[in-house]
Structure 1
Amino acid sequence: MRSSNKLGGDTVRFIHAADIHLDSPLVGLAAYQDAPVETLRTATRDAFDNLVGEAIAEQVDFMVIAGDLYDGGWKDFNTGIFFVAQMGRLKAAGIPVYLLLGNHDAESEMTKRLALPDNVHRFPVGKAATFRLPELRVALHGRSFKEAATTENLALTYPDPVPGWLNIGVLHTALEGNSAHANYAPCSIAELAARGYQYWALGHVHEHRVWQEGASTIAFPGNLQGRHIRETGPRGALMVATDGAEIVSVERLHVDVLRWHALEVDVAQALDLEEAVRMAGRRLAALIEETEGDLPLIVRVRLTGATPAHGQLFGLEAQLRAEIVAQAASVSTGRLWIEKIKVETTPHDPAAQVAQRSDAVADLQAHLAQADADPEFLKSLQDDLLQLIGKLPLEVINAVPQLREIREGRLEALVRDTTPSLIAHVARAA
């Protein structure tokens, strides 16, 4: 059923989405032979397909896309053709779409060249414009990015609200310089509220946030589909319901097809590597139980805690990953993929206890404690390490900060960071 407004009432419902990044290329996953690359590669399309399906099933009045539909200079026109086909589905259902171009869209060839169905209305660049929907008494105000690096406060250029109507501002913005995202079109919550719009449909920040500032609801839906470990948890869009010129509800609409999860496993009580692995397996089993639905989970496991097993775990991330992948296979029916294992444990025995041993291990610890200030030692260490890393491809070296530091002769931090783990490993073997 269409919104009651279609039948003469005052209810309007619309979907607010942003940061879809269709066909966003994957980075780094090729290093894992067991990575679900095809599932990940199509995830942004599948999530968008879900979104369109929800819009049609719910028969919303319109959809708003607040920027970054595409992913920058990605030149595969099949991506654009897919979007056009999805817009055709909405057209057949009588659902208009109001599209704003964000910083990634400003870089995209598809943005400039592909003709869109006539149910898609694109906000112009250069000046804010208003789309009026008289039958709904709704006005949508927005201004697209002309250039990716748009750093002016675009919100100040938006028009006054239409009196007595529901006014929606559509804006791609970092909003007060969100530190996780480029500071594009910065503005403040107070400035947005001062425009007098009832709703601000924002894009650019990939995390879901909603503010109520006076009579204004200001919202980021977050991105539609998590693409890497920095985008964990449920993802999707917002379903907004109104009564006349008043926002009644803003509800999350989850449409993602897989989820990223950072799982911390405290292995303080583990006596050895085998026990730490079993603890990780139990946490993975609990994660499956705690997670509703049956979406695949991509998990980064962090082993933490001051543990007697620290020396055994040191430098064994590859073996640990294989062991924990096996644990994941035993507790789920293909829902879990282990993206990476991070060993962030600390020695169970503090340095002071090692120093009391009065043996070679204590002597080694004392020597390493001074090593980061010994130019001759650091130069010798660099020479040895360069023989190992000299055979690696340049792109691998550039991708790993520690390898770049070795090439540049900055080994002090490396020595300080690895000393506790090395001592724990040697102490256990001694």
Structure 2
Amino acid sequence: MPGESFRFIHASDFHLETPLGDLDQLPPNLREALATAPRTAAAAVFEAALAENIDFLVLSGDLLHPVAAGPHGMSLLLDNFEKLHAAGTPVYWAAGIADDPKQWPEAVPLPPNVTLFPRDKPLSVPYERAGRVVCTIVGRSSEGRSSLHVPGFQTEPTDEFTVGVGYGAADANALASGRMDYWALGGAHNYTEIEDGAPAGAIQPGSPQGRGLDEAGPHGYCVVDVDAEQTARIHRVETDQFRYCHETIDAQEIRTVGSLRNLLGQKIAALANDNGGRHLLIAWDVALNDPELISSVGDPVELLRQLRRDHGNGNPSAWTTRLTVRPPRTYPKSWREEDTILGDFLRASDKFRKASASNSSTPGNTDASGSTAKAGQVQLMPFTEEHPELSSTATTMLGDVPAQHRDETLDEATLLGVELLRGGKPSWGRKS
């Protein structure tokens, strides 16, 4: 027998206690918008729940840490819960780790339309419309784990469409064994679709607003439409005011356009067009794998200033949060074979790199650059003696470069030497 169609919104991971990150400075024209972006995006979810013709709202964890978010964050939830209560719209909330129910103040009761699922057992709630059960919502809050324990959602099976509400990632096969028609999950900050997890889907909608470069791309919530035949259609709605973008560029692109600055300008225009007029927070990763293009890049520090000045003050703004120009790993063979100081330097650099990568523990010899290469180490201590004004902390840091930074340090040093020896202006900072 056909059922009734219904519609609900699925959202999660508001993290109202967490500001936007990966910003070394705040653009003056964007400071207020950056500060309020998480609240604005979360408020958009509630506005949609009030304005659109939905039956209920599902929230699957990590809305806020009550203590860290404080009264400002809690009031956003409570005020909107009350508005939904006045509109007769139920809210089904499975808490995650940040919004552990034990953290919620006992003196602040939730409105009666809000069902906060328990941690210790699943709760099955029938949703009724005009006296008829339309669907069943089965939920359970997290017990502090980042993964979902599917067997913990076992309840009596029903004929109605069943929505499972929980927190954490899970294997598709495990989700399928849970016999839910739709899994409304939380815990992932980026939109995640777990294929074959349920007939209608297993979705982690992600945060309504991204917080950093590891959360690049669109952010928002999901509208789920279920028809009378229990077929669900999922529609993503974007709510982010600021969109993080992590863009990579190779030498071929620079060569085609002619200069890195012009190329970045073109890409910023394309990103602005593709992202619907939102403010952009962009990290550029430039692989300078063609030594002949060094002069066309210029000084990355100055280029960063230009990008922020030219594109970061508009409305919408395209603010460059980071510009990383990765030096070449290899240089032309003809350069290395020159009977010049440049040739000597590149040969010494190659020898130094091989020594650093070696698994041998025998000390290396002093090379043409005047420094000592020990296997697996980059020893810069001899150079600190030439600069007595260096602090003891700086001297210690230079004395033994950590393993994860050795190749990067060698690349930077080699590029600096090549620029100086070829008569160019050195670019002192490759990372900005």
TM range (shorter): 0.7 to 0.9
**Equivalent-residue separation in structure 1 for 2:279 and 2:381 (angstroms):** 43
- 1:64 corresponds to 2:83: no
- 1:288 corresponds to 2:310: no
Residue 173 (structure 2) aligns with: 190
**Structure 1 residue aligned with 2:294, among 302, 305, 310?**
310
**Equivalent-residue separation in structure 1 for 2:398 and 2:120 (angstroms):** 48
Residue 184 (structure 1) aligns with: none
| CA drift at 1:270 | 5.0
Aligned residues of 2:380 and 2:399 also touching (Cα < 8 A): no
Once the two structures are superposed, residues 319-340 of structure 1 have per-residue CA deviations (whole angstroms, 9 ceiling, x without a partner) of: 221022234259x544211111
Amino acid at match of 1:145: S
**Equivalent-residue separation in structure 1 for 2:110 and 2:172 (angstroms):** 33
Moved more, 245-254 or 150-159: 150-159
Residue 325 (structure 1) aligns with: 308
Aligned residues of 1:99 and 1:122 also touching (Cα < 8 A): yes
- 1:338 corresponds to 2:320: yes
- Indicate how the Cα distance of structure 1 residues 381 and 426 shifts in structure 2: closer, same or farther if over 3 A, else same: same
Amino acid at match of 1:133: Y
- Indicate how the Cα distance of structure 1 residues 167 and 368 shifts in structure 2: closer, same or farther if over 3 A, else same: same
Residue 402 (structure 2) aligns with: 410
3-state DSSP of counterpart to 2:272: helix
Where does 1:37-52 land on structure 2 (aligned, <5 Å)?
37-52=31-46
3-state DSSP of counterpart to 1:74: helix
Question: Aligned pairs, how many?
Answer: 396
**Equivalent-residue separation in structure 2 for 1:232 and 1:284 (angstroms):** 15
Aligned residues of 2:248 and 2:286 also touching (Cα < 8 A): yes
Amino acid at match of 1:201: A
Once the two structures are superposed, residues 354-380 of structure 1 have per-residue CA deviations (whole angstroms, 9 ceiling, x without a partner) of: 212221011011122233534863676
Residue 215 (structure 2) aligns with: 231
- 1:205 corresponds to 2:205: no
Once the two structures are superposed, residues 269-292 of structure 1 have per-residue CA deviations (whole angstroms, 9 ceiling, x without a partner) of: 758x99321221122122223333
- Indicate how the Cα distance of structure 1 residues 413 and 100 shifts in structure 2: closer, same or farther if over 3 A, else same: same
| CA drift at 1:29 | 2.7
3-state DSSP of counterpart to 1:234: coil
| CA drift at 1:27 | 4.2
**Equivalent-residue separation in structure 2 for 1:145 and 1:382 (angstroms):** 51
3-state DSSP of counterpart to 1:60: coil
- 1:368 corresponds to 2:349: yes
Residue 252 (structure 1) aligns with: 236
**Structure 2 residue aligned with 1:172, among 167, 177, 181?**
167
- 1:54 corresponds to 2:56: no
Gaps of 5+ in 1: 1-7, 176-187, 398-402
- 1:83 corresponds to 2:83: no
| CA drift at 1:162 | 3.5
Once the two structures are superposed, residues 137-186 of structure 1 have per-residue CA deviations (whole angstroms, 9 ceiling, x without a partner) of: 3211121124x3x26752111123532111111111132xxxxxxxxxxx
**Equivalent-residue separation in structure 1 for 2:352 and 2:64 (angstroms):** 50
**Equivalent-residue separation in structure 2 for 1:56 and 1:35 (angstroms):** 31
Aligned residues of 2:185 and 2:203 also touching (Cα < 8 A): yes
Structure 1 vs Structure 2: percent identity of aligned residues? 22
| CA drift at 1:304 | 3.2
| CA drift at 1:242 | 0.9
Gaps of 5+ in 2: 356-363, 366-370, 425-432
**Equivalent-residue separation in structure 2 for 1:51 and 1:269 (angstroms):** 40
**Equivalent-residue separation in structure 2 for 1:152 and 1:290 (angstroms):** 34
Residue 144 (structure 1) aligns with: 141
**Equivalent-residue separation in structure 1 for 2:198 and 2:396 (angstroms):** 50
**Structure 1 residue aligned with 2:331, among 337, 350, 358?**
350
Residue 243 (structure 1) aligns with: 227
3-state DSSP of counterpart to 1:306: coil
Amino acid at match of 2:31: V
* TM-score normalised according to structure 1 size: 0.80
* TM-score normalised according to structure 2 size: 0.80
**Equivalent-residue separation in structure 2 for 1:407 and 1:247 (angstroms):** 64
Aligned residues of 1:166 and 1:244 also touching (Cα < 8 A): no
Residue 382 (structure 1) aligns with: 381
3-state DSSP of counterpart to 2:76: helix
Aligned residues of 1:98 and 1:123 also touching (Cα < 8 A): yes
Aligned residues of 2:14 and 2:42 also touching (Cα < 8 A): yes
Aligned residues of 1:23 and 1:41 also touching (Cα < 8 A): no
Amino acid at match of 1:158: F
Instruction: Name the larger-Rg structure.
Output: 2
**Equivalent-residue separation in structure 1 for 2:396 and 2:240 (angstroms):** 36
